[in-house]
Amino acid sequence: MTPRSLEQLYTALEERHLEKMTFQEVRRALQALSSLYVQRRGRLQRGHGLDTAGKRAAFALFYGTLHFIQVREVVRELGLDQLPISTIFDLGCGTGTSGAAWARECTSAVSLKGFDQNAWAIAEARWVYQGLGLKGEAVQGDLLRAKWGQPGTGVLLAFSANELEPGPRQRLLTRLIRAAGNGATLLIIEPISRKVTPWLEEWSEKLSPSGAQLRDWRFSVELPDRFALLDKAAGLDHRSEITCRTLCCRPD
């Protein structure tokens, strides 16, 4: 694939994931996946979010696309596209679309490095990076053990910190504080619901010496037609607005 627009990216994703699955099968899987995110979040930590082919296809088509849109809009609004960042580390990269969205907006050359523990997600991230013509790699591994956060780099946590247990999440915060102090740019993006991220206020306070900004976002954007169809069919319907919450630290 060589997509130049979000519409083309979504078309390429459909060609990849609807080859062996019908639209209705993906729609049902998306409803089941959405139920996990909203009502049974504990099952996500046990790997139930990507445990079937249907959920994997639904995640790639729906949440991968949604995360691309959210990160793209936030990066533009915060001016992160203008920073001279050499590498973006995408922690818990999933299918790679979040890191790809930031990298695509950058005005200077940037490389991507994604980390995720799920082998399927890593394969998808590599496909996305290659298809979008982005320089980078995706590696299967523990984001707490990986090397990241060097000066002049970006660190992205897009909808991944909320799936960690409290202990690992606290250890992650310690490393983020160190990375921000070293001059890395941090972008943490999560659902807007306070129920999902009650810890984000603490993170904001602990990162305040590095200029942390905690913000809520509501965007009205044009969605790819086929994405909007799946969105509506599953009863989710983001046509009116797309929301998220971010915590950002950037060097002075």
pLDDT of 119: 95
> Cβ–Cβ contacts within 10 Å for residue 207, how many?
23
- Contact between 174 and 145 under an 8 Å Cβ cutoff? The reply is no
- Contact between 190 and 200 under an 8 Å Cβ cutoff? The reply is yes
- Contact between 250 and 203 under an 8 Å Cβ cutoff? The reply is no
Distances in Å between the alpha carbon of 95 and those of 138, 150, 218?
9, 24, 24
- Contact between 176 and 154 under an 8 Å Cβ cutoff? The reply is no
Task: Please choose, from the candidates 124, 141, 191, 181, the residue with its C-alpha nearest in 3D space to the C-alpha of residue 161.
Answer: 191
* 3-class DSSP assignment, residue 166: helix
Q: What is the pLDDT along the chain (252 residues), one digit of tens a residue?
A: 556 688 888 999 999 999 989 999 999 999 989 887 765 545 454 455 688 999 999 999 999 999 999 999 999 999 999 999 999 999 999 999 999 999 999 998 899 999 999 999 999 999 999 999 999 999 999 989 899 999 999 999 999 999 899 999 999 999 999 999 999 999 999 999 998 899 999 999 999 999 999 999 999 998 999 999 999 999 987 777 999 999 999 987
pLDDT of 171: 96
Tokens 């930590």 belong to 45
pLDDT of 238: 79
Task: Please give the Cα distance from 204 to 111 (Å, whole number).
Answer: 27
Question: Hey, what amino acid is at 46?
Answer: R
Task: Please give the Cα distance from 96 to 132 (Å, whole number).
Answer: 11
**Per DSSP, what are the bridge partners of residue 158?**
189
Q: 6-249: which CATH architecture?
A: 3-Layer(aba) Sandwich (3.40)
Task: Please give the Cα distance from 184 to 85 (Å, whole number).
Answer: 9
Task: Please give the Cα distance from 42 to 95 (Å, whole number).
Answer: 21
Task: Please give the Cα distance from 204 to 202 (Å, whole number).
Answer: 5
Q: What angle do CA 226, 80, 191 make, to 5 degrees?
A: 50
Task: Please choose, from the candidates 117, 65, 59, 127, the residue with its C-alpha nearest in 3D space to the C-alpha of residue 93.
Answer: 117
> Cβ–Cβ contacts within 10 Å for residue 88, how many?
27
